[in-house]
Amino acid sequence: MNILVCVSRVPDTATRIIVGSDGKSIDKNGVKYIVNPYDEFALEEGLRLREKNGGSVTAITVGTDAATDVLRTALAMGVDKAILVKGDEPTDSYYVAYNIAKIAKEINPDLIILGRQSIDFDSFQLPSMLAEMLGMPSVSVVSALKIENGQVSAERDVEGGKETVACSLPCIISAQKGLNEPRYPKLPDIMKAKSKPIDTREAEKTEPKTSIIGMEIPSKARAGKVLEASDANIDEIVRLLKEEAKVI
């Protein structure tokens, strides 16, 4: 089974995000980048499927030269090949989907695995766009996956329960937390990954379909309210949750 895993490079979750001076982008000074956490589940699932069924796993990212670091992490985890679709910084989800679809048409994967969302821009658009561009079935937010004889059975967490969805290969899956426990790359593999080849392609520019016109960070977190033991009667707590916190 040949598997393509899409990997996004995102700011570390511990990074303090600052909006740039243009008011519509992130100030990248001092930002540390990591593999998008949901893509670690995608990579792990690809590797497990290869270990069970044979074949190969290719990691792909669309971005600038700097995005090579997430491909090195994927190589250290054990993927067979890494592709950087190199261009300017991504302009919108369509651009990323278009460039991944172009490579997918060339390498014909049996399965494409993505994370459920990229934690930087949180658009949730890539899996569906890619499915539409490639004419493949797509199952989103998958927390358990079985593939036998070309048939896919994917479990999804839904409100208060689970849903099992079937489709056949080739297809697109987006990974949810809990799909597996991603492996930590071992030091010798990290060292070896530094010298592995990265297949670098030129990204094709596309006309942006959407553009960010503004970004803002909430001015101040709301102050918490501390209840004394004498205040802590159930009626008062329910009233505060309803009228002040407005969460029930």
Ligand X SMILES: Cc1cc2nc3c(=O)[nH]c(=O)nc-3n(C[C@H](O)[C@H](O)[C@H](O)COP(=O)(O)OP(=O)(O)OC[C@H]3O[C@@H](n4cnc5c(N)ncnc54)[C@H](O)[C@@H]3O)c2cc1C
Instruction: Give me the residues that bind ligand X (CB under 6 A), please.
Output: 6-8, 25, 36, 38-39, 42, 60-63, 89-93, 96, 114-115, 117-118, 120-126, 210-212
Tell me how far, at minimum, the Cβ of 199 lies from ligand X, in Å: 14
C-beta closer to ligand X: residue 2 or 125: 125
Tell me how far, at minimum, the Cβ of 208 lies from ligand X, in Å: 7
C-beta closer to ligand X: residue 88 or 236: 88
Tell me how far, at minimum, the Cβ of 49 lies from ligand X, in Å: 16
Name which of 180, 177, 199, 196 is nearest 188 in CA terms.
Answer: 196
C-beta closer to ligand X: residue 108 or 210: 210
C-beta closer to ligand X: residue 66 or 245: 66
Tell me how far, at minimum, the Cβ of 231 lies from ligand X, in Å: 42
Residue least distant from ligand X (Cβ):
115
Q: b/e map of 123-132 (b: 16 or more CB within 10 Å)?
A: eebbbebbbe
Q: How far is CA 4 from CA 44, 49, 63, 104, 114, in A?
A: 12, 12, 17, 8, 9
DSSP secondary structure letters along 90-122: --SHHHHHHHHHHHHHHH--SEEEEES--TTT-
Tell me how far, at minimum, the Cβ of 40 lies from ligand X, in Å: 10
C-beta closer to ligand X: residue 2 or 8: 8
Number of continuous H segments (helices) and E segments (strands) in the chain: 6, 11
Tell me how far, at minimum, the Cβ of 86 lies from ligand X, in Å: 11
H/E segment holding residue 71: helix 68-77
Tell me how far, at minimum, the Cβ of 85 lies from ligand X, in Å: 7
C-beta closer to ligand X: residue 101 or 229: 101
Separation of alpha carbons 137 and 231, rounded Å:
55
Helices (H), 118-209: 126-134, 187-193
In Å, the largest CA–CA distance within the chain is 69
C-beta closer to ligand X: residue 122 or 202: 122
Pairing of strands 161-168, 151-158: antiparallel
Q: Are 55 and 169 in contact (CB under 8 A)?
A: no
